[in-house]
């Protein structure tokens, strides 16, 4: 445990604030819930978003200070507005509920409200053409699993797991949900649809084409629903 956590944190915040172009500073991720003054808090990293007056691109700085890793993202205010408008998940999710550390220009409330509204809207539904293209790509991969004799077992198992991941990613896209990071995908799936989660788990453990097909049909429906694209196999 780092005993002087608050001193390390406060010193880094003051360094950031000393830049005259800094408009606002936010704690995000797990760091936003930390009591920096507590002697019992345990952490190894602190994530910070910084809104600046100008600059063309996002700048990310990774640094270690006395055993604490700081991940500091600098974002110009104009880029911040664009990220919100475009619905960039990494930004709007973190900035939907940050802890405001510093706000020289009084912009934090508006940013947080706009990010929350955009996040609640979701990424939007796919068009029918996009759905059918996605369906076709996964269906084509699934059909290849029927020729098990072409693969070594480890290769077949590997391909099976890749296809399962593609199907789960498709589930989030089709349902208009934000696509989670890989490390959060299964916990997000379990929370969203426990039946699909259990089905996925069985198929993942067995690496059986019928199990993968079951997951596929749960997400896309029966195999005869692909439109617009003619499938041919040599």
Sign of the C-alpha dihedral, residues 34, 37, 38, 41? positive
Q: How far apart are CA 195 and CA 28, in angstroms?
A: 32
Shared-domain flag, residues 214 and 106: no
Q: Domain span at residue 17? A: 5-121
Question: Given 121, 136, 151, which residue is the final one in a domain?
Answer: 121
Q: How many domains does the chain have?
A: 2
Count Cβ atoms below 10 Å from residue 231 Cβ, excluding itself.
9
Q: Is residue 234 part of a domain?
A: no
Residue 74 pLDDT level (bands cut at 50, 70, 90): very high
Residue 60: Cβ-neighbour burial (10 angstroms; 0-12, 13-18, 19+): exposed
Shared-domain flag, residues 40 and 64: yes
Determine which of 123-127, 194-198, 208-212 has the lowest per-residue pLDDT on average.
123-127
| Residue 101 Cα distances to 48, 78, 128, 142, angstroms | 10, 20, 44, 50
Comparison of pLDDT for 159 and 232, the residue scoring more: 159
Look at residue 1 and tell me whether its pLDDT is greater than 70.
no
Shared-domain flag, residues 83 and 183: no
Question: Given 121, 143, 160, which residue is the final one in a domain?
Answer: 121
Q: Is residue 230 part of a domain?
A: no
Q: What pTM value is reported for the model?
A: 0.69
Q: Is residue 232 part of a domain?
A: no
Q: Is residue 233 part of a domain?
A: no
């Amino acid at each position: 445990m780092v005993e002087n956590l608050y001193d390390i944190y406060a010193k880094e915040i003051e360094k950031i604030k000393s830049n005259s172009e800094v408009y606002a500073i936010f704690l995000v991720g797990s760091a936003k819930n930390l009591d920096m003054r507590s002697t019992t808090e345990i952490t190894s990293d602190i994530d910070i978003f910084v809104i600046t007056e100008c600059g063309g691109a996002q700048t990310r700085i990774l640094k270690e200070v006395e055993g604490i890793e700081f991940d500091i993202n600098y974002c110009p205010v104009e880029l911040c507005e664009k990220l919100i408008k475009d619905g960039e998940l990494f930004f709007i999710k973190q900035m939907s509920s940050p802890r405001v550390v510093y706000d020289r220009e009084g912009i934090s409330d508006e940013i947080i409200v706009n990010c929350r509204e955009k996040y609640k809207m979701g990424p939007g539904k796919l068009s029918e053409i996009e759905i059918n293209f996605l369906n076709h790509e996964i269906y084509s991969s699934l059909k290849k699993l029927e020729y098990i004799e072409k693969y070594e077992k480890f290769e077949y198992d590997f391909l099976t797991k890749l296809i399962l991941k593609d199907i789960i990613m498709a589930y989030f896209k089709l349902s208009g949900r934000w696509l989670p990071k890989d490390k959060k995908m299964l916990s997000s799936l379990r929370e969203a649809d426990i039946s699909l989660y259990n089905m996925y788990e069985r198929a993942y453990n067995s690496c059986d084409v019928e199990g993968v097909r079951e997951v596929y049909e749960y997400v896309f429906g029966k195999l005869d629903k692909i439109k617009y694209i003619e499938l041919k196999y040599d």
